[in-house]
Structure 1
Amino acid sequence: MPVLSDPDVRPSRGGRPRDPSRDGVIRAAILRLLGEVGYGALTMDAVASEAGVGKATIYRRWRTKEELVVDTVAELNSVQAELRDTGSIQGDLRALLGAMVGMVNSPAGAATQALLSSMQHQPALAQAFREGPMAVWRSAFDQVWERGEQRGEIDPGLSGSLIAEAIGAPLVQRWLVNGQPVDEAFADAVVDQVALPLLRANGAKL
């Protein structure tokens, strides 16, 4: 386990130019540590040790712990939510909720759980979460609704509605509130027992 005792602030970045190839390695280390020790115990020294880089490499990128975590959170989930068009709203929803299951059970999911209690005391972190992961998944759902409209499966106006929020809510509640396993079988059940009945009740042609 990395040592978790080091000052979290440095006055300047300075030094050699930043090497972008190390960003992914460092962000992966941050996620692992957040899942293990949480935001409060995270230090810049621990990140450097976990990533296998020198502390100067960390400080050339981020001056403070908050800056480091905010930047990492802003990038969360961007890959998981990139989904292909399956040809139907039912297929798109299965793919999207399946991608959410993958995120929930990844280091990014563990890091998200660890960060939730800190967000109320860290406005910049809460903002990064809203504008990063939440915006990514909201955009992914909007793409599903837009494709459904173009195919004539649903009427316009579903994006941002209570119905749209209700479709993703069971998965989020099971993950963050109930603490029960979130798997593909549960995601499929949400599609079959929540999403499709709700959409059909509101005029969807499925």
Structure 2
Amino acid sequence: MKEGAQARPGGRTARTRDAVLAATLAEMSEHGYGGLSVEAVAERAGVHKTTVYRRWATKASLVVDAVSVFAQSSVGVPDTGDFAEDLRLLAQAIRLALSGRDGGGVVRALFSGASEAPEVRALLHRFWAVRLSQVRPIVERALARGELPAGTDPDEVFKHLCAPLYSRLLVTAEPITPDAADRAAAAAYLVARAGILVLPPVAP
């Protein structure tokens, strides 16, 4: 490279990584964790399998990377200045993520694969940790504005928001409709406002 020239941001390496991770999510969505293979991922991504193995030594490490990126990018964190609206928008974002081409399949694969392999159980915990980290700022901002009782547990708010949506995906196999997402957000809002999700006092 000539002096003073700058490398392109990302470039071929970044494009290859994105293609491999997208292919991993698609394969996982279609075939589950157990049916996913590095060879199939490489073929779908249009790269040689040695290219995949050079960066990800095992199938588990590849899936961990793909799902971590998926969890970070698939749901945005709203900041409208209103707790109820933030919850509603978050619920709708989760609905869209779970209803997307790969989203629901990836989540189903994680839950089914958790009984197959320890690394998938660990990955499922990481997936939830990322999701929980996304809702904490919403609750912290609401606490600062005085919209919630002091001591409200952000993790419990998230669980109450998500449970109806994930139940439709994993238990009842019902469509996750916009109305269902709005109802889940409204219920979580009312429960939180009522002080039911306040952390118990810590014993001295």
TM-score of the two chains, using structure 1 as the length reference: 0.81
Match of 2:123 among 113, 123, 128: 128
Q: Look up the match of 1:186.
A: 180
- Which of structure 1's runs of 4+ aligned residues deviate more than 6 A? none
Q: CA RMSD in A?
A: 2.2
| Alpha-carbon shift at residue 32 of structure 1 (Å) | 0.9
Query: SS state of the match for residue 85, structure 1?
Result: coil
Task: Select the residue among 111, 116, 133 that pairs with 1:116.
Answer: 111
Equivalent runs, 1:2-41 vs 2, <5 Å: 19-41=13-35
- Matching residue within 165, 168, 174 for 2:168: 174
**Residue of structure 2 equivalent to 1:137:** 131
Q: SS of the residue aligned with 1:75?
A: helix
Which of the residues 45, 55, 63 maps onto 1:61? 55
Q: Under a length normalisation based on structure 2, what TM-score does the superposition of the two structures give? A: 0.81
The superposition leaves residues 13-38 of structure 1 with CA deviations (integer Å, 9 ceiling, x where unpaired) of xxxxx923311111111111111111
Contact 1:158-1:164 at 8 Å conserved across structures: no
> Could you say which residue in structure 2 is the equivalent of 1:196?
189
Whichever residue aligns with residue 128 of structure 1, its letter is L
CA separation in 2, counterparts of 1:171 and 1:56? 39
Alpha-carbon distance change, 179 to 102 in structure 1, aligned in 2, over 3 angstroms: same
Specify the alignment match of 2:95 in structure 1. 101
Count of aligned pairs: 185
- Equivalent residue runs for 1:40-51 within 5 Å: 40-51=34-45
Deviation at 1:179, TM superposition (A): 1.0
* Alignment partner of 1:90 out of 80, 84, 89: 84
Question: Post-superposition shift, 1:173?
Answer: 1.1
Where 2:176 maps in the other structure, the secondary structure is coil
Q: 1:37 to 1:203 in 2, by over 3 A?
A: closer
Distance 2:93 2:58 in 1: 32
Provide, for residues 123-162 of structure 1, a one-character-per-residue CA deviation record: whole Å limited to 9, x for no partner: 122212212x211211122111101111110122222565
1:79 is matched with which residue: 63, 73, 93?
A: 73
| Structure 1, 140-149 or 164-173: larger mean CA deviation | 164-173
Structure 1: runs of 5 or more not aligned: 1-17
Distance 1:35 1:173, change over 3 A: same
